[in-house]
Amino acid sequence: MEIQRGNVRLENDLIEQYIPFIRKTTAKVCKRYINTSEDDEYSIALIAFNEAIHQYSPDKGSSFLSFASLVIRRRVIDFIRQEQRRKIPLSIDYHDDDNENMENVAEIHASFHEYHEKQEREYRREEILHLNEQLKAFKISLSDVAKQCPKHQDARENMVKIAKTVVEIEGLRSTLMTKKRLPIKELTKHITMSRKTIERNRKYIIAVSLVLMEDYRYLKDYLKEWLG
């Protein structure tokens, strides 16, 4: 909080202290040793760590390092993806009978598509692991959430709307994150849903609330059609 208020010296000290963490996180994404003086990925990770410092809020529920790890991995993956795009030739001169050349172009694009999908899966996996860590504080598992997921679309839409209410109203959000419980009694004052229905879907509502509060690009995609 002190750094976010403008303490540059403390900011530099914190970054220096966590260089091993930044490098280790980057190495996990790249799956190789990271040279801090040569690798562009490390520079991206440093910027991402600094970004995490200024964006972090205890209200999000996760620890700072967990949040910073998510931001670093996301920015590094984005950088790698952009570099892969840049390496793909936009156009190659060829003749109608130059089949070999066209096959090479197809192979390059197929290779990039496969790489892109792999990174997307890794991204989703990171977000799920991060969400799972947050849910532990509520004594909830991902399997609990899956079991409570409403089977009908209209019911899911209603639960997402309830979660949005929790996130948007300061008192409800604060109780959720500080006391690690869904404030059902207070919540019923703001919605028309019965207390019994809320209690039956409590774990699912909490999970959706956490997704809405965090910078989960892929998990939010699952909710996009109901977010409005």
Q: What pTM value is reported for the model? A: 0.60
Whether 105 has a pLDDT exceeding 60, the answer reads no
What does residue 226 show for φ and ψ, rounded to 5 degrees? Answer: -105, -5
Residue 1 falls inside a structural domain? no
Whether 91 has a pLDDT exceeding 60, the answer reads no
CA torsion angle 164 207 198 141 (round to 10):
180
CA-to-CA separations, 175 to 86, 95, 206, 227, in angstroms, rounded: 47, 67, 12, 22
- Give the list of residues 6+ apart from residue 158 with CB closer than 8 angstroms, or none: 150, 193
Mean pLDDT of 167-178: 91
Whether 213 has a pLDDT exceeding 90, the answer reads no
Q: State the residue range of the domain holding 128.
A: 8-136
**Among candidate residues 113, 136, 159, the one where a domain is terminated:** 136
Neighbours of 225 (CB within 10 A): 11
pLDDT in tens, 108-153: 555 555 666 776 777 788 788 888 888 998 999 999 998 988 888 8
Which amino acid is present at 25? T
Percent of the chain surpassing pLDDT 70: 82
* 58 and 149 co-located in one domain: no
**Among candidate residues 74, 108, 136, the one where a domain is terminated:** 136
**Among candidate residues 109, 136, 163, the one where a domain is terminated:** 136
**How many domains does one find in the chain?**
2
pLDDT in tens, 4-51: 998 999 999 999 999 999 999 999 888 888 888 888 999 999 999 999
* 114 and 181 co-located in one domain: no
Whether 204 has a pLDDT exceeding 70, the answer reads yes
